[in-house]
């Protein structure tokens, strides 16, 4: 007769016990040791390295890393799906703050009571903290000028690293690294924000345009007719553009006609543009053996030099965040954040542009001059563009920010955090010269399929550069963290 035995529950007890033992082994494993993925899990996204602060508590993270400190966590299973937060508030990672958040919504959520990393902050929000086991979340990067980076979250009470501080906005400090409690490394301080750019220098207020040169009256001559030149434009005063040159006289009716040259444009006042050159006079030969040459365009006036007031100095870069404190029993202090780069010096005042050269005068053939060989016909050439003004004085670059203080070593095991690197000095403000004026266009020939064309005017030269601002000095390096006190 078959013997009936009560089914044993020992396997169940063993499995449950094994699960807890396995969890305990994960928690007390040597720092930096990577664990194999659970059965059926490819382990993708859970590889841990020793290059950056750890983010290895979950399988659903991207490339994770483990700090060489004893508080490093490796490949703990995730019990929650982001962004919902911990399962029943007990197991899993805190929710990451969402892009576009405002105010307290930018803080990362706290990890589960038993297991879980804190969520990452956004837009300058702080990282979430872990409770018993887990790493603190990273502070959010600031997105506005003057906004400090978010502080890193606190690591788990028993084991866990502090989160890293976020980078500061323009002119603001980096966030502080989160602290570890018993076992773990402090988080690194965030980078200080770049200094604000200096204000650009200003020229005198615009004051209109100086008087233009007079147009020369048309000349009617029986034999030799040379048109008078146009009047020169007046030079501008402070902030006033140079006056345009007057038009050269048209030469009409004579046997040998030459149009008048256009007047030169006036020079621009401080920071103002030069005046345009006047157009050359027109000719209209019509008799056998006659000649007609269009007048040349006038030269453009030179641009005014920039004002002498320098650009504003760039502001000092933000201070790097303080590194988090290492665990009380064992753990390294976090490194201080680098200081921010000094602000760029303000740009020099703008130099005036050279005036455009005047266009050459046209030649209009008529009568027997429309036949080749009966007349000498030439068009006027364009005037040269004016030279640009000399640039002003750029502002000095700002001083680099001070590196953050390294985090303290919490206990007898571990090292104090290194001080942050000093920020680089800002660049000096630029002081370019004004652009040269464009050359005038040549005159045209109409009424005859022959004649000598005019030439375009030469472009004006760019003005000399002014004095660029000095580069700012580098900031001060942060001090190393303190040695800490002996643990229990």
303, 388 Cβ separation under 8 angstroms: yes
Average pLDDT over residues 168-176: 96
Give tens-digit pLDDT for 66-85.
334 444 433 334 334 445 67
Overall pTM > 0.85? no
* Lowest-pLDDT choice from 93-107, 155-169, 223-237, 364-378: 364-378
* pLDDT at res. 286: 73
Q: Which range has the top average pLDDT, 43-52, 112-121, 466-475?
A: 112-121
Of 41, 96, 103, 371, which residue is the catalytic one?
Answer: 371
What CA–CA distance (Å, rounded) separates 295 from 219?
13
Q: How many residues does the chain have?
A: 488
Q: Which range has the top average pLDDT, 76-85, 165-174, 440-449, 451-460?
A: 165-174
What CA–CA distance (Å, rounded) separates 153 from 186?
10
Band of residue 17 on the pLDDT scale cut at 50, 70, 90: very low
Average pLDDT over residues 272-288: 90
| CA 375 vs CA 217, 219, 257, 366: distances in Å | 25, 20, 11, 10
* Annotation marks residue 362 as catalytic: no
Q: Token pair for residue 52?
A: 């950056």
Band of residue 385 on the pLDDT scale cut at 50, 70, 90: very high
Band of residue 90 on the pLDDT scale cut at 50, 70, 90: confident
Cβ-based neighbour number of residue 215 at 10 Å: 21
What CA–CA distance (Å, rounded) separates 7 from 147?
66
Q: Which residues contact 181 (CB under 8 A, 6 or more apart)?
A: 154, 155, 156, 157, 158, 160, 327, 328
Band of residue 290 on the pLDDT scale cut at 50, 70, 90: confident
* Lowest-pLDDT choice from 79-93, 173-187, 194-208: 79-93
């Amino acid at each position: 007769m078959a013997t009936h035995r009560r089914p044993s529950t020992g396997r169940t007890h063993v499995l449950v016990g094994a699960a807890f033992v396995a969890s305990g082994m994960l928690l007390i494993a040597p720092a930096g040791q990577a664990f194999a993925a659970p059965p059926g899990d490819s382990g993708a996204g859970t590889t841990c390295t020793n290059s950056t602060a750890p983010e290895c508590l979950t399988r659903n993270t991207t490339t994770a890393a483990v700090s060489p400190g004893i508080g490093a966590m490796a490949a703990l299973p995730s019990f929650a799906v982001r962004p919902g937060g911990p399962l029943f508030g007990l197991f899993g990672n805190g929710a990451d703050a969402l892009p576009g958040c405002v105010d307290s919504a930018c803080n990362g959520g706290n990890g589960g009571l038993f297991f879980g990393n804190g969520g990452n902050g956004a837009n300058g929000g702080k990282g979430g903290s872990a409770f018993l086991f887990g790493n603190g979340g990273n502070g959010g990067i600031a997105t506005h000028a003057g906004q400090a980076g978010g502080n890193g979250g606190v690591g788990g009470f028993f084991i866990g690293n502090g989160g890293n501080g976020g980078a500061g906005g323009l002119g603001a400090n980096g966030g502080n690294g989160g602290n570890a409690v018993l076992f773990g490394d402090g988080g690194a301080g965030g980078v200080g924000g770049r200094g604000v750019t200096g204000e650009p220098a200003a020229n005198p207020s615009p004051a209109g345009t100086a008087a233009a040169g007079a147009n020369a009256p048309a000349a009617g001559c029986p034999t030799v007719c040379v048109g008078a030149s146009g009047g020169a434009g007046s030079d501008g005063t402070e902030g006033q553009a140079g006056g345009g040159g007057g038009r050269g006289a048209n030469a009409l009716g004579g046997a040998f006609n030459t149009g008048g040259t256009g007047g030169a444009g006036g020079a621009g006042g401080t920071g103002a543009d030069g005046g345009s050159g006047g157009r050359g006079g027109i000719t209209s030969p019509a008799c056998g053996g006659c000649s007609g040459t269009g007048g040349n365009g006038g030269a453009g006036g030179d641009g005014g030099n920039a004002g002498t007031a320098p650009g504003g100095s760039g502001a000092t870069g933000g201070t790097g965040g303080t590194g988090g404190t290492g665990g009380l029993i064992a753990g390294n202090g976090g490194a201080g954040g680098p200081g921010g780069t000094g602000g760029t010096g303000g740009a020099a005042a703008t130099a005036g542009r050279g005036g455009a050269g005047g266009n050459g005068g046209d030649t209009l053939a008529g009568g027997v001059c429309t036949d080749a060989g009966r007349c000498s016909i030439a068009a006027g050439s364009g005037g040269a563009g004016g030279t640009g003004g000399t640039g002003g004085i750029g502002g000095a670059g700002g001083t680099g920010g001070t590196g953050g203080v390294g985090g303290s070593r919490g206990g007898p095991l571990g090292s104090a955090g290194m001080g942050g690197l000093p920020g680089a000095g800002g660049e000096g403000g630029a002081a370019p010269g004004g652009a040269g004026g464009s050359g005038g266009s040549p005159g045209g020939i109409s009424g005859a399929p022959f004649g000598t064309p005019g030439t375009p005017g030469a472009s004006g030269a760019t003005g000399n550069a002014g004095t660029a601002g000095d580069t700012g000095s580098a900031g001060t390096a942060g001090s190393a963290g303190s040695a800490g006190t002996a643990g229990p």
